[in-house]
Amino acid sequence: MLTGLIGKKLGMTQVGDTSGRVQAVTVIQLGPCAVTQLKSAPTDGYEAVQVTFGKRKLSRTTSADRGHFQKAEVAPGIATREFDKRGDGELKLGQAIAASDVFKVGDTVDVSGVSKGHGYAGVIKRHHFAGFPGSHGTHEYFRHGGSIGNRSYPGRVRKGLRMAGQMGNEKATTVNLKVVEILPEDNAIIVSGCVPGADGSLVIVRHAAKTRRVAQEAVANG
């Protein structure tokens, strides 16, 4: 069908397996996503399927977007992404794609989202620096980062040096999570572990890149 879907993080909970062990999991609502465009190599230069998730008010939609969604006869969505097509099934404009159409129990997935923002943070919170001793002459210098330069060479602060600054609120991806359960009636999936973002935030769930690459190499090598 597709290599992924757009969804919304609902929150975390825990489930037990057959051996009685408790596992932390995340519930993600996936769609239903609607197909808004089918891209082909002769027309667009590459193959892809564009889908949209959710509904957005017409007053918050540009005229160009209205025309684009009207071609597919679907309501304007709050998020639109492109995914590669998998398998030989035929897709049509406006077709609704459910979570169970793309994922099944046991699949390995990568989940991308925008991490929680923590504002301007110091080096201890942001980079886990140890700080300075609490005694033995330390005076008003407990949570600082220490020296940031090294004399005449290179005579400047190197790029990428760990310092205080904005923490979080950036794109993050958690890889190789297992699909524990599919909830068809809620159009949701349960994945092992945690995923980036706050509850209610948008996430992109794709079949794991490493798994896809191994499968493609196996097909190429026969």
Q: Which of 24, 31, 28 is nearest to 10 (CA)?
A: 28
Number of domains in the chain: 3
Four-residue CA torsion sign, 137, 140, 144, 150: negative
**pLDDT means per 10 residues in the chain (222 residues)?**
92 88 94 89 91 91 91 91 85 90 93 96 95 89 88 87 95 94 93 94 93 69 69
Does one domain contain both 43 and 82?
yes
Q: Tell me which residue range forms the domain holding 196.
A: 16-31+100-117+169-222
pLDDT for the residue numbered 220: 73
pLDDT digits (tens, 9 = 90+) for 35-44: 999 998 899 8
> Does 27 share its domain with 37?
no
Q: What is the pLDDT at residue 86?
A: 82
Residues 153 and 201 in one domain: no
108 and 207 co-located in one domain: yes
CATH number at 74 reads 3.30.160.810
- Position 8 in a domain: no
Residue 17 structure tokens: 């397996």
In-domain check, residue 127 = yes
Q: Specify whether 157 is located in the same domain as 221.
A: no
For residues 163 and 141, state if they share a domain: yes
Query: Does some domain include residue 86?
Result: yes
Q: Please check whether residue 60 lies inside any domain of the structure.
A: yes
Do 188 and 157 share a structural domain?
no
Q: 140 and 39, same structural domain?
A: no
Q: pLDDT value at position 1?
A: 80
* Sign (positive or negative) of CA dihedral 48, 201, 175, 187: negative
Which CA distances in Å does 177 have to 100, 149, 167?
17, 40, 24
The reported pLDDT for the residue numbered 215 is 66
Q: Are residues 38 and 125 in the same domain?
A: no
Shared domain for 110 and 176, answered yes or no, is yes
